Structures are given as structure tokens and as C-alpha cells.
Amino acid sequence: MSTPVFSPLQRTPLFDLHVSLGAKMVPFAGYEMPVQYPTGIIREHLHTRERAGLFDVSHMGQAFLDGDDPARALEQLTPADISGLKEGQMRYALLLNDSGCIKDDFMAARLEGERPLYLVVNAGTKESDFAFIAERTHGAAHLIPQPTRALLALQGPKAESVLSNHAEGVAELGFMRVRRLTVAGRPAIVSRSGYTGEDGFEISLDAGDAEYVARVLLADPDVLPIGLGARDSLRLEAGLCLYGHDIDEGTSPISAGLAWVIGKRRKLARDFPAAEKIMAELFAGTSRKRVGLKLADKTPAREGAEIVDGTETIIGRVTSGGYSPSLGQPIAMGYVATESAADGTEVAILVRGVPRAAVIAPMPFVPHRYKRKSGD
């Protein structure tokens, strides 16, 4: 890697590979990242749904949280049931600020036979998340960021067969399960998880092994490299939130429709940030809710577009929107007043000042195809 000392943008260990594959590189969360390859976003998107795509997500923040009881320490900052994580299990969780709003969304996992928890947080928030976790768990746990680890995501219906050619034990791993495995001869932490709604894996590697493993996976005829453009359209179709857009430090987990993240035990104990407020919202509801939207015609509605009701009163705003390559029509996600949030409600979205007919639609827009194993 040849990062200039004064470069304002960081590079992942796969930078040279992206450039050699003809990627269009753009700044994203402080990194130079591939937004698309010569294949193009629509074909990259469809290929991931039909076969398998390889994503570089090394910009995300990986860390271990060690201590006598790191799960208990982390539970001060999240409503998820972290102590209840079984060995080899991973869970989607929210990091909450003191007002009970979403500081970040992240993954927490307990590896078999290991005391430290393995965490993966968003790229754009990793510095502040790590500082927050370190400070708030001080004395009870210590955070060990892993800035030199790379992260690949292999997603799509062919992901299992592709990865099985280079690693043992892949097929046995159920959705949201995690294990240390050897991938193409290199040590890796492999979880059956992702951000596309497809079956797939996330593969954490030492930086020095990342390009080799990526090249091995890309050599499979079922695999194409996929950029951030398709990553965004895939996750939008899957109804998954993008931090900083669909959820942020002003969003409550309840209005975001993420109440399922709160562990049963945690609901009873009410021992997470702003628990009383969040539990009250859970029972009484919130004034606005995150919803899916399908537009009637072909005009995409983008982030920030206002959502109006039949009387052209503003009832909400789009937080993510674009074209769905799988459905061939524009889709969006946003927040609307709860009384207008029921599926099938007819609304309009103002695009360049013109109201465009839309309907509140259930999410995911494209069904998830996760591989759950019995007992999970």
C-alpha cells in the first residue's frame, strides 16, 4: 500500500485491487472506496441477487471488548441481550446515547471459547463509537480496536458454495452464527451475516491476507466485485437502515421499528439508557414511524424529499430513496406520522416540487433469503 503521508483519505488493504479491477473510487466515510466497477451498479446488484458478490467493507470498525464480563459492561450502552449471546452467536444491536436515541447500529458476537466480544461498527462513526465504548465501560472492560483487520462480505445465493470451496465448516454455520475458520489457508473470523438481504458471509482477515483471499474468491466464475452503489440499493431493497440517514442520534429505536433489538430480559430489567422513555414509547407508540414507500411512476424520490397526504399536508420525509434494480421501480424509506403509516396508505412524495403518487409498503421490498439452521 502506498498511502501518501498527508493523504486526507484512508485506503483499505484492497485499494490496489479495486483500482486494478477498474473501480470508480469515491470518498466515503474518510476512505477512498469503490462505488462501482465497470460492470455497473444495476448488473452488480442483480448479480448479487442471482449469484454472488464480493464487497470490501474494511472501512468498517472492528474491535474486541475484553474484561471480566464484557457483555455486562456493554449492556450499559445497548438494549440488546449481549449476555445472552451463546458461543458462536452474533447479534444486531444499537448503541444508545443518554437520551435513548441511536448513536450507532452494530454487530456483537461471542466467539467459541473466547472471552472478548467481537464488535463491528459503522465506518463513519467508528472513532466516536470506540471512544464512547472505551469511556463508558472504563474499569469494567477494555476496548481493543482492530484497525489492521480487513473485512470482506460475500453475498448471494452462491455464497455458500463458493466459500465452501475454500473453507471447511461453512455449510454448518447458520444465519447470525460466527466462527474462526481458515479461508484459503488464512485465519479468518467468518459470520453468516450481511447487508443485502441475501444469504452470505462476512469474513474478517488480517490486512496482509485480504487481497489474497479476495483474489481467490473473485477467481470463482460465480463471483463479481461489487461496489458501494449496489451495496446501498441492495440494503434498501432489504429494508435495512443506513446509519446517518435512516437512523441517527435523534431517532428512537421504537420510531425506527427496531424494538425487536431490545432483549426480553432487558425489557423486564429496564437497565439500558433511557429505558423508561423507550419502554413508554414501546407501549404507547411514537408520533412517527419508519416506513417503506413504493412510487407509482418511474420518478425516483431521494433523501430529504417531503411526503404529503391527500391534502398536501407534509406528513414526513424520505430518508433513503432510489431505484430498485430488482423491482424495476423507485422505492424509498422514510418517516411519516403514525396515523399515515399503515401499509397501503396512499401518499405523495414531492420530487422537484411535483407530488408523485406513492403507497406505504411493507419492508423488505425484496424478501430476505437468510439460511437459518434449526435451533437458531
Can you give the binding site for other proteins, defined by CB under 8 A?
A: 24, 35-36, 40-42, 45, 229, 232-233, 298-300, 302, 322-323, 325, 330, 352
Residue type, 346: E
The string of DSSP codes covering 200-226 is EEEEEEEHHHHHHHHHHHHTSTTEEE-
Q: Which is nearer to other proteins, 264 or 352 (CB)?
A: 352
Provide the minimum distance between the beta carbon of 114 and other proteins in the complex, in angstroms, as a whole number. Answer: 40
Query: Measured from the CB atom, is 1 or 327 closer to other proteins?
Result: 327
CB of 310 to other proteins, least distance (A): 24
> Could you tell me whether strands 223-225 and 52-56 are parallel, antiparallel, or unpaired per DSSP bridges?
parallel
**Is the Cβ of residue 303 or residue 309 nearer to other proteins in the bound state?**
303
Residue 304 half-sphere exposure, CB side, CA atoms within 13 Å?
Answer: 2
Q: How far is the CB of 300 from other proteins (least distance, A)?
A: 5
Strand partners, 351: 354
CB 350 within 8 A of CB 305: yes
CA distance 81 to 267: 10
Helix (H) or strand (E) holding 133: helix 126-136
Least separation, in Å, of the C-beta of 36 and other proteins?
6
Whether 332 contacts 351, CB under 8 Å? no
For residue 301, the minimal CB distance to other proteins (Å) is: 10
Q: How far is the CB of 197 from other proteins (least distance, A)?
A: 17
CB 333, min distance to other proteins, A: 16
**Distance separating alpha carbons of residues 58 and 152, to the nearest angstrom:** 7
Q: Which is nearer to other proteins, 265 or 298 (CB)?
A: 298
The contacts of residue 311 (CB under 8 Å, 6+ apart) are none
Q: CB nearer to other proteins: give 41 or 57.
A: 41
> Toward other proteins, which CB reaches closer, 253 or 330?
330
C-alpha cell at 136: 463508558
Q: Smallest distance from the beta carbon of 304 to other proteins, in angstroms?
A: 11
Q: Which of 48, 89, 83, 8 is nearest to 372 (CA)?
A: 89
For other proteins, which is the closer residue by CB, 278 or 318?
318
**Whole-number Å distance between alpha carbons of 131 and 125:** 10
What span, in angstroms and rounded, lies between the C-alpha atoms of 365 and 240? 10
How far, CA to CA in Å, does 48 sit from each of 194, 199, 235, 361, 370? 12, 10, 12, 23, 14
User: What secondary structure letter does DSSP report for 266?
Assistant: H
Instruction: Give the nearer residue to other proteins in terms of CB position, either 170 or 234.
Output: 234
